[in-house]
Amino acid sequence: MQPKSLKLFILVFLPLTLAIFILTSSGQASEIPKISNSDIFPTDGWLTSTPEEQGMNSTYISMMYDFIFDNSFDIDSVLIARNGVIVEESYLEDSVVNEALTQPHFSRNFETCIYQAQGKLRNWYSTTKSVTSILIGIAIQNGFIDNVSQT
Protein backbone atom coordinates (compact mmCIF):
# COMPACT_ATOMS: atom_id res chain seq x y z
CA MET A 1 0.00 0.00 0.00
CA GLN A 2 1.17 3.51 -0.69
CA PRO A 3 1.61 5.81 2.36
CA LYS A 4 -1.46 7.89 1.46
CA SER A 5 -3.57 4.75 1.02
CA LEU A 6 -2.28 3.34 4.31
CA LYS A 7 -3.12 6.58 6.12
CA LEU A 8 -6.63 6.56 4.63
CA PHE A 9 -6.99 2.91 5.62
CA ILE A 10 -5.91 3.59 9.21
CA LEU A 11 -7.96 6.76 9.61
CA VAL A 12 -11.15 5.62 7.89
CA PHE A 13 -11.47 1.88 7.36
CA LEU A 14 -10.27 0.65 10.76
CA PRO A 15 -12.53 3.01 12.78
CA LEU A 16 -15.40 2.17 10.42
CA THR A 17 -14.85 -1.55 10.97
CA LEU A 18 -14.71 -1.09 14.75
CA ALA A 19 -17.88 1.00 14.65
CA ILE A 20 -19.66 -1.69 12.62
CA PHE A 21 -18.74 -4.35 15.18
CA ILE A 22 -19.93 -2.19 18.05
CA LEU A 23 -23.08 -0.88 16.40
CA THR A 24 -24.36 -4.06 14.77
CA SER A 25 -25.52 -5.42 18.08
CA SER A 26 -29.17 -4.63 18.59
CA GLY A 27 -28.56 -2.92 21.91
CA GLN A 28 -31.16 -5.16 23.51
CA ALA A 29 -30.61 -8.20 25.64
CA SER A 30 -32.31 -10.40 23.08
CA GLU A 31 -31.93 -14.14 23.06
CA ILE A 32 -29.44 -15.19 20.38
CA PRO A 33 -30.31 -18.60 19.00
CA LYS A 34 -27.75 -21.24 19.84
CA ILE A 35 -26.47 -23.17 16.85
CA SER A 36 -24.37 -26.24 17.52
CA ASN A 37 -21.27 -26.90 15.45
CA SER A 38 -22.91 -30.05 14.13
CA ASP A 39 -25.67 -27.84 12.66
CA ILE A 40 -23.09 -25.65 10.89
CA PHE A 41 -20.29 -27.99 9.78
CA PRO A 42 -19.75 -29.95 7.64
CA THR A 43 -21.95 -28.66 4.86
CA ASP A 44 -21.65 -28.01 1.15
CA GLY A 45 -21.59 -24.28 1.83
CA TRP A 46 -22.08 -21.61 4.44
CA LEU A 47 -25.43 -21.26 6.18
CA THR A 48 -27.07 -17.84 5.94
CA SER A 49 -29.26 -15.89 8.32
CA THR A 50 -30.60 -12.39 8.82
CA PRO A 51 -28.71 -10.07 11.16
CA GLU A 52 -31.74 -9.89 13.45
CA GLU A 53 -31.81 -13.69 13.81
CA GLN A 54 -28.23 -13.43 15.07
CA GLY A 55 -28.88 -10.54 17.49
CA MET A 56 -27.70 -7.77 15.14
CA ASN A 57 -29.40 -4.64 13.82
CA SER A 58 -29.49 -4.48 10.00
CA THR A 59 -30.03 -0.71 10.08
CA TYR A 60 -26.35 -0.30 10.92
CA ILE A 61 -25.34 -2.50 8.01
CA SER A 62 -27.41 -0.30 5.69
CA MET A 63 -25.69 2.75 7.19
CA MET A 64 -22.33 1.11 6.48
CA TYR A 65 -23.26 0.72 2.79
CA ASP A 66 -24.39 4.35 2.64
CA PHE A 67 -21.03 5.39 4.11
CA ILE A 68 -19.11 3.23 1.63
CA PHE A 69 -21.02 4.55 -1.40
CA ASP A 70 -21.14 8.19 -0.24
CA ASN A 71 -17.36 8.22 0.20
CA SER A 72 -16.58 6.20 -2.96
CA PHE A 73 -14.40 3.67 -1.14
CA ASP A 74 -12.74 1.14 -3.42
CA ILE A 75 -14.26 -1.89 -1.71
CA ASP A 76 -14.94 -4.95 -3.84
CA SER A 77 -16.83 -7.10 -1.37
CA VAL A 78 -18.36 -7.25 2.09
CA LEU A 79 -18.84 -10.40 4.15
CA ILE A 80 -20.21 -10.36 7.69
CA ALA A 81 -20.50 -13.61 9.65
CA ARG A 82 -21.80 -14.07 13.18
CA ASN A 83 -22.29 -17.23 15.20
CA GLY A 84 -20.88 -19.28 12.32
CA VAL A 85 -23.39 -18.13 9.70
CA ILE A 86 -23.24 -15.45 7.01
CA VAL A 87 -25.54 -12.52 7.75
CA GLU A 88 -24.42 -10.29 4.86
CA GLU A 89 -22.51 -10.94 1.65
CA SER A 90 -22.18 -8.47 -1.20
CA TYR A 91 -19.93 -8.04 -4.20
CA LEU A 92 -19.76 -4.34 -4.97
CA GLU A 93 -18.94 -4.38 -8.66
CA ASP A 94 -19.80 -1.21 -10.59
CA SER A 95 -22.66 -3.03 -12.27
CA VAL A 96 -24.08 -4.01 -8.90
CA VAL A 97 -23.73 -0.66 -7.13
CA ASN A 98 -26.93 0.78 -8.60
CA GLU A 99 -28.85 -2.31 -7.55
CA ALA A 100 -27.33 -2.07 -4.07
CA LEU A 101 -28.41 1.55 -3.74
CA THR A 102 -32.00 0.93 -4.84
CA GLN A 103 -32.87 -2.28 -2.99
CA PRO A 104 -32.70 -3.44 0.61
CA HIS A 105 -29.43 -5.32 0.89
CA PHE A 106 -31.09 -8.58 1.91
CA SER A 107 -33.13 -8.83 -1.29
CA ARG A 108 -30.12 -8.80 -3.63
CA ASN A 109 -29.61 -11.74 -5.94
CA PHE A 110 -26.26 -12.93 -4.59
CA GLU A 111 -25.80 -15.48 -7.39
CA THR A 112 -25.92 -12.65 -9.94
CA CYS A 113 -23.45 -10.61 -7.87
CA ILE A 114 -21.07 -13.56 -7.62
CA TYR A 115 -21.30 -14.19 -11.37
CA GLN A 116 -20.55 -10.53 -12.12
CA ALA A 117 -17.58 -10.59 -9.72
CA GLN A 118 -15.94 -13.58 -11.41
CA GLY A 119 -13.02 -12.88 -13.66
CA LYS A 120 -11.96 -9.63 -12.00
CA LEU A 121 -8.44 -9.48 -10.61
CA ARG A 122 -8.34 -8.29 -7.01
CA ASN A 123 -5.66 -7.13 -4.62
CA TRP A 124 -5.54 -9.67 -1.81
CA TYR A 125 -2.82 -7.91 0.22
CA SER A 126 -2.39 -9.89 3.46
CA THR A 127 -5.18 -12.37 2.79
CA THR A 128 -2.73 -14.77 1.17
CA LYS A 129 -0.58 -14.76 4.31
CA SER A 130 -3.64 -15.46 6.46
CA VAL A 131 -4.75 -18.40 4.33
CA THR A 132 -1.19 -19.77 4.27
CA SER A 133 -1.03 -19.51 8.07
CA ILE A 134 -4.32 -21.39 8.41
CA LEU A 135 -3.11 -24.15 6.09
CA ILE A 136 0.20 -24.47 7.96
CA GLY A 137 -1.72 -24.72 11.25
CA ILE A 138 -3.90 -27.48 9.81
CA ALA A 139 -0.81 -29.31 8.49
CA ILE A 140 0.83 -29.16 11.96
CA GLN A 141 -2.39 -30.25 13.70
CA ASN A 142 -2.77 -33.23 11.34
CA GLY A 143 0.88 -34.25 11.65
CA PHE A 144 1.92 -33.50 8.08
CA ILE A 145 4.70 -31.22 9.37
CA ASP A 146 6.19 -30.76 12.84
CA ASN A 147 6.52 -26.97 13.02
CA VAL A 148 6.59 -23.78 10.96
CA SER A 149 10.36 -23.97 10.48
CA GLN A 150 10.36 -27.41 8.89
CA THR A 151 11.59 -27.44 5.30
Encode pLDDT of 2-35 as tens digits. 556 666 666 666 666 666 666 555 555 455 556 5
Q: Which of 55-64, 78-87, 116-125, 138-147 has the lowest mean pLDDT?
A: 116-125
Same-domain check for residues 97 and 59 = yes
Same-domain check for residues 84 and 141 = no
Stated as kind and residue range, the H or E segment containing 3 is helix 3-8
**From the centroid of its chain, how far is CA 25?**
16
pLDDT for 54: 92
**Number of folded domains that form the chain:** 2
Angle between helical axes of 58-70 and 14-23 (0-180°, round to 10): 160
Same-domain check for residues 42 and 74 = yes
Task: Give the integer Cα–Cα distance in Å for 10 and 8.
Answer: 6
Other Cβ atoms less than 10 A from the Cβ of 25: the count is 16
Same-domain check for residues 31 and 79 = yes
Same-domain check for residues 71 and 59 = yes
Torsion of CA 66, 68, 69, 71, to 10 degrees: 110
Residue 108 sits at φ, ψ, to 5 deg, of -65, 150
Same-domain check for residues 114 and 131 = no
Tens of pLDDT, residues 113-131 = 444 455 555 566 677 788 8
Structural domain including 139 reads 123-151
Q: What's the pTM value of the predicted model, to 2 decimals?
A: 0.46
